[in-house]
């Protein structure tokens, strides 16, 4: 699929600059437009203390200070955004430019997770940074689970994006199948595509399923290698080990599952993977 517009919501944490940089790298590789989305909640809603402060004078001073801090933070992030766009050769533009990487820094009022869930419906692809310590946040869940779009989850410090070596985690589930088809353009441009599965995932039909996947890829002109691997007692560990052993630049997998290799999904079994990966994931 040719992506026309990508969304990257700035989540929680102080390391905003490297996350924006990583998102811009994605847009540059796809030669498409990306919106860097920053959200804010009106301090008067969050800190409704007017009735407790004499005459509301202290409250008004507090609001003035809080709003000034927000404005300063957004200005700082936008300045960094402008500098990185110049460094990467990404044009700053309110609208997509056909065949060229472009970007826009936008600010929306409202709770971040709510805004992301609502606005992500109108993009082709959503990029989300791995949450701190692998702990799922409302913003991450909104971007990955509730957008209904293709997603790329990136490390919080992504300095290069050139997916020449792709690892496909094959589980045969609906979301996994959809991710494989959606990633065909990436796979066709790759120098190496390596597919893995496990009997713990597909049972005795694992080899037959891999053979059918090979036939499917061949239909699209994709040459790939295949491997049956063993899972471990730590969910997500086998997938990450295989990705590192194969020097993968990106992993293609689904977003829901039950255990181990089966799939990376939101919940306890994804925590190890999210906490330790430094490899982007296409879902």
CATH number at residue 217: 3.40.50.620
- Return d(Cα 270, Cα 259) in angstroms, integer: 9
If asked whether residues 185 and 144 sit together in one domain, one would say no
Closest to 248 in 3D by CA, of 176, 179, 162: 162
Closest to 185 in 3D by CA, of 32, 2, 22: 2
Q: What is the pLDDT of residue 77?
A: 87
Q: Measure the CA angle with vertex 282, ends 276 and 283; round to 5°.
A: 105
Name the DSSP class of 131: P
pLDDT tens, N- to C-terminus, the chain (283 residues) = 789 999 999 987 789 999 999 999 999 999 999 999 998 766 555 555 444 555 555 666 666 666 666 677 778 889 999 999 999 999 999 999 999 999 999 999 888 999 999 999 999 999 999 988 777 888 888 998 888 899 999 999 999 999 999 999 888 888 889 999 999 999 999 999 999 988 777 777 888 888 899 999 999 999 999 988 887 777 678 888 899 999 999 999 886 544 434 445 444 556 778 888 899 999 8
Structural domain of 24: 5-154
260 part of a folded domain: yes
Asked whether 173 and 256 are in contact (CB, 8 A), the reply is yes
- Helices 112-119, 138-145: axis angle to 10 degrees equals 10
Q: Domain tally for the chain?
A: 2
- List residues bridging with 8 in a β-sheet: 36
Q: What is the pTM of this model?
A: 0.86
Nearby residues of 273 by Cβ (< 8 Å), 6 or more positions away: 134, 235, 236, 237, 239, 240, 264
If asked whether residues 198 and 220 sit together in one domain, one would say yes
If asked whether residues 104 and 217 sit together in one domain, one would say no
Closest to 29 in 3D by CA, of 100, 94, 110: 100
If asked whether residues 127 and 251 sit together in one domain, one would say no
Q: For tokens 């990106």, what's the residue?
A: 250
If asked whether residues 94 and 196 sit together in one domain, one would say no
If asked whether residues 170 and 257 sit together in one domain, one would say yes
If asked whether residues 145 and 28 sit together in one domain, one would say yes
If asked whether residues 35 and 109 sit together in one domain, one would say yes
> Where does a domain end: 106, 132, 154?
154
């Amino acid at each position: 699929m040719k992506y026309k517009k990508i969304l990257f919501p700035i989540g929680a944490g102080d390391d905003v600059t490297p996350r924006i940089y990583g998102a811009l790298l994605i847009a540059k590789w796809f030669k498409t437009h990306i919106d860097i989305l920053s959200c804010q909640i009106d301090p008067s809603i969050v800190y409704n203390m007017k009735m407790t402060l004499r005459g509301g004078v202290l409250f008004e001073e507090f609001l003035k200070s809080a709003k000034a801090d927000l404005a300063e933070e957004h200005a700082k992030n936008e300045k960094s955004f402008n500098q990185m766009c110049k460094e990467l050769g990404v044009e700053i533009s309110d609208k997509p430019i056909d065949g060229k990487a472009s970007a826009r820094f936008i600010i929306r009022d409202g709770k971040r997770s709510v805004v992301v869930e609502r606005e992500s419906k109108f993009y082709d692809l959503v990029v989300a940074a791995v949450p701190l310590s692998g702990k799922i946040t409302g913003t991450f869940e909104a971007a990955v689970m509730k957008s209904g779009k293709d997603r790329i989850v990136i490390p919080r410090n992504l300095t290069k994006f050139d997916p020449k070596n792709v690892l496909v985690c094959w589980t045969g589930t609906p979301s996994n199948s959809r991710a494989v088809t959606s990633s065909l353009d990436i796979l066709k441009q790759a120098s190496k595509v390596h597919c893995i599965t496990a009997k713990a995932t597909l049972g005795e039909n694992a080899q037959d399923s891999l053979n059918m996947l090979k036939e499917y890829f061949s239909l699209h002109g994709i040459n790939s290698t295949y491997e049956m691997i063993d899972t471990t007692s730590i969910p997500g560990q086998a997938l990450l080990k295989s990705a590192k052993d194969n020097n993968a630049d990106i992993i293609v997998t689904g977003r829901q599952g039950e255990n181990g290799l089966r799939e990376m999904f939101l919940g306890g079994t994804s925590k190890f993977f999210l906490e330790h990966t430094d490899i982007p994931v296409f879902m």
